[in-house]
Chains A and B, each alone.
Chain A
Amino acid sequence: MKVFIIASLILCLPLLGMAQKSRKAFAYDYTIDDLPNGLRLITVPTDYPNLVAVYIVVQTGSRNEIEKGKSGYAHLFEHLMFRGSEHYSGAERDAILKKAGADSNAYTTDDRTVYHEVFSKDDLDKVIELEADRFQRLKYPQDGYKTETKAVLGEFNKNSADPEEKAYEVLRATAYKSHTYSHTTMGFIADIEDMPNQYNYSWQFYGRYYRPEYTTIVLVGDLKQPDALAMVKKYFGDWKRGNYAPDIPSEPDQKEPRESHVEWPSETLPLVYVAFRGPAYSDEKKEKAALDLLAPIAFGENSDLYQKLVLTEQKLDSLSYIFEDRADPELFLVAAKLKDVKDTDYVRQQILDTYRRYTTELVPKDKLDSTRSRLRYQFALAMDSSEAIAGSLANYIGLRRTPETIDKIFSLYDTITPQNIRETAAKYFVDNHRTVITLSSKKEVAK
């Protein structure tokens, strides 16, 4: 038996040494089962023993918060879902998960809310039953609701000590005027403070989005697909499909460069954030893939800019980029943490010049190839436990509800040419689509 396990494990893992074209980036066998109510189950049996990881992905995030004054509710539900349901109080739920030796948590992003547990395989049936109850029959009294909104405020408060959180919050509010990406996942502070008064609205939100057609269950680990499907049918089969589709406002064309400054009340290293409007996630159109490949070449730790500003001139404490896979057009952000506020203009200009450079210059072919290699190995190196596999999948399930998109995006990377990258950079990195945020401590501004 053991021999079989080892052999199959090796077959499962990405064989990166093989010919480049035919390989699959997501090399595990998986099954997709669609229930009549719209719920989707993705099962990935692995040979990691004893444990099962359950990731339940709801395609609802802060992007879905379309009403004025109602930001932060996707994240609030990430909390409320732990307060109990019709057949299990919060305490009973905790007791069951404790017995299962479970690690249980949840997170929210712009586009999705993900509930996840990893636990002993013998407890799978019970955990599915628990999950089904809260997804279909959540129950929280008004007082419990109010108490939870306070915990959310506590979370905002703990985050607020970090100047990078603040700079990111201001960036979003400056770059987006209509689209819901204008607020972070936490939401605007005024909306968070108003949450205790919005008990009825919270039920409206649950009724809209906690529906099978928004939800995908991902099961990874020491399990068999037929058993998993039977459990999911048994406990989720009666879940009623909803009929709500949000009208997410599109962002109008940006007609001018934008800039904001944040004064930080205490000592901090200054920040310079330079962002351009980028494309949404796509596994078919080349633009997102082209900029994914450009990002580490232009701004990663091996880039000329990083070598110059961080290693040689040592003007920066850190230089990083963020360009998430998002359902709607997302910012391509370069974030610099400076050592001295007097270098602000210089660093800002260096970052802008680098953006501009790749609108006219071709990236070297060998650099592009090593970046493709890097992305593949990065993905493969992260897939080394059932939970890691489920966690990696969640991002893509939130976007396309199938692991197939992973192979498609990695195949797309293989087709990108230096010319594609230059054309895409020239299209997106234009002055009128730029937003710059600077942050420095009050004292330093006063100097």
Chain B
Amino acid sequence: MKRRKVLFAIVAVTVLGILSGQLPMKAVTSRRTPNMKSADTNTVLLPNRSPLVSFRILFMTGSAYDPKNQEGLASLTAAMLAEGGSRTKTYAEITDAMYPMATSFQWQADKEMTVFSGSTHLDNLDKYYALIREMLVDPGFREDDFKRLKEDAINYLKTSLRGGNDEELGKEVLYTMIYPSTHVYGHENRGAVGALEKMTLKDVRDFYQNNFTQANLVVGLAGGYPEKFPAQVKLDFAKLPMGSTAGIKLAIPTQTPGTRIQIVERETRSTGISLGFPIKVTRAGKDWPALAVVASYFGQHRSSNSYLYQRLREARGLNYGDYAYIEYFPRGMFQFQPDPNLGRQQQIFQIWIRPVEPQNGHFVLRAALYEYDKLVRDGMSKEAFESTREFLSKYVNVLTATQDAQLGYALDSRYYQIADFPTYMREQLAKLTLDDVNRAIRQYLKSDAMHVAIVTKDALGLREAIISNKTSPGAYAPKPKELTDEDKIIEAYKINVKPTDVIVVPVEKVFQ
């Protein structure tokens, strides 16, 4: 049954939706050579005997490739391929054909990766593949699909994000603060309202021709598909234009010292806070496993097993949860595990404070900064290091429990040029020492340029409180005695910010 996303039903649905998988498999990865011929499509293959077949068809393109003043074009093009008709079939005909198979075709467009994914029972492989092949290789690009999907994108920004999800709003605003509009990461993946309004179908066609090319393609397949199936897929996708692999190379945005705060003003019951700054490490870097340990210890996603959660939620009851990240993790309020294929050349360190009561907004911001400073100053203890390392060594099984997740991680490992993810993690974690981790904290997580995005109703009042640096006692009860001294420090904790760096933005102006 199709289920509406509501309250707790969503937990079950999300869990079911993201889990699809199989026995562990060894990936067979092909890598393009400079002299490749047209049918030498890049592939990541995970064959097994499962009666399910998973597809992840990845193009190395995304919103970082949006032309200037056409922010959102990559995303809209992806939507046109996955939610629009093919040349011979309307979108309605495609969904009709998928209906008895209970299949669908999903898309996800990030900065540098755009992935199309879906699973089918082996019974229906030929029928399903014929549909998705044509959608990607021979799209319809009809005006009515374009009109509908462009409106969807605009409505996503204007109402879903601005008006219906304060948490995702704050997180996305944080990224636009860290990456200025001059940076190719400097806009929301779905785009900007003004640019989308002016976008034409021709723009989509051009973007498709230039970016959805063989050079940018990696085909991922997992499951019990016939032996000759990958060769057929390669042949079919050789119909795409060749293109070239000249990817962008990014410089880390320069950070000037000092805290910067953007307060988004909207009518809401609560106050949500996201903080962060860019880091120089990605999964390709040798210190990534060390930072993964730190992020898990400090704020494992949706887990009570983390430091920040224990201090803010468990001890004080200030909100629903508090987490930390070293990789982009959209839709975190709806899912327990991250989606794969969000590979980026640059990542940020992020702290996510879930909505608090407005009278505690200032106190909790200070508490988050206080705990962050403490982490950087004191590092991790031996005990915390060892237990977190053991957790991650086993948790990698949970992250890759399903065939679809294994395929997604294998594609990401190819991108970052590391071994298959579970092996990589277990081997790297086994070698890691406490010194490595504490050195990585000092080297990468020490920043005097913190960006803070806040979503709240009384933005001017909060701004005034922050710039005056006046005491802000935490208004929560009961207050355990052992927290009294610490709260005294936190309520007066100095935020190093100039008044000109605390700006208030009405929500209507965001992503405009």
Chain A residues in the interface with B (C-beta under 8 A): 5-6, 9-10, 13, 15-17, 47-51, 75, 82, 90-91, 94-95, 97-105, 107-109, 114, 118-120, 142-143, 146-151, 153-155, 157-165, 168, 184-186, 196, 264-269, 292, 295-296, 300-302, 307, 310-312, 314, 317, 320-325, 333, 335, 339, 369-371, 373-378, 380-382, 384-388, 391-392, 394-395, 441
Contact = CB atoms under 8 A, between A and B. Distances in A.
B390 to A, nearest CB: 6
Given A103-B398, A391-B19, A302 B99 contact: yes
A271 B4 CA distance: 14
Contacts of A17: 123
Contact of A150 (B9, B49, B317): B317
A267 B508 contact: yes
B266 A266 contact: yes
Taking residues whose C-beta sits less than 8 angstroms from the other chain, chain B's interface range is 35 or more
B2 A391 contact: no
Nearest to B302: A105
A6 B49 contact: yes
Contact of B401 (A47, A91, A118, A335): A118
B7 A94 contact: no
B144 interface: yes
Given A6-B48, A302-B99, A384-B402, 12 more contacts: A9-B50, A94-B304, A102-B398, A142-B478, A151-B313, A154-B319, A154-B355, A267-B507, A371-B99, A384-B52, A385-B401, A391-B15
A146 B478 contact: yes
Contacts of B24: 49
Contacts of B396: 101
Contacts of B103: 377, 381
Contacts of B387: 95, 98-99
B163 A146 contact: no
25 contacts: A9-B50, A10-B49, A16-B121, A95-B387, A107-B12, A147-B314, A150-B316, A150-B476, A153-B357, A157-B269, A157-B355, A161-B164, A161-B165, A163-B164, A265-B267, A302-B96, A311-B91, A311-B92, A311-B148, A377-B124, A382-B20, A384-B404, A387-B19, A388-B15, A388-B21
Contacts of B121: 16, 377, 380-381
B302 to A, nearest CB: 7
A107 B5 CA distance: 14
A186 B6 CA distance: 11
B12 A312 contact: no
Given A13-B51, A105-B302, A147 B315 contact: yes
A6 B22 CA distance: 10
Nearest to B478: A143
Contacts of A339: 151, 155
A147 B165 contact: no
A158 B166 contact: yes
B391 interface: yes
Nearest to B160: A269
Contacts of B15: 387-388, 391
B123 A16 contact: yes
Contacts of A267: 158-159, 162-163, 507-508
A220 to B, nearest CB: 12
B451 interface: no
Given A161-B164, A385-B401, A324 B159 contact: no
Nearest to B357: A157
Contacts of B99: 296, 300-302, 370-371, 374
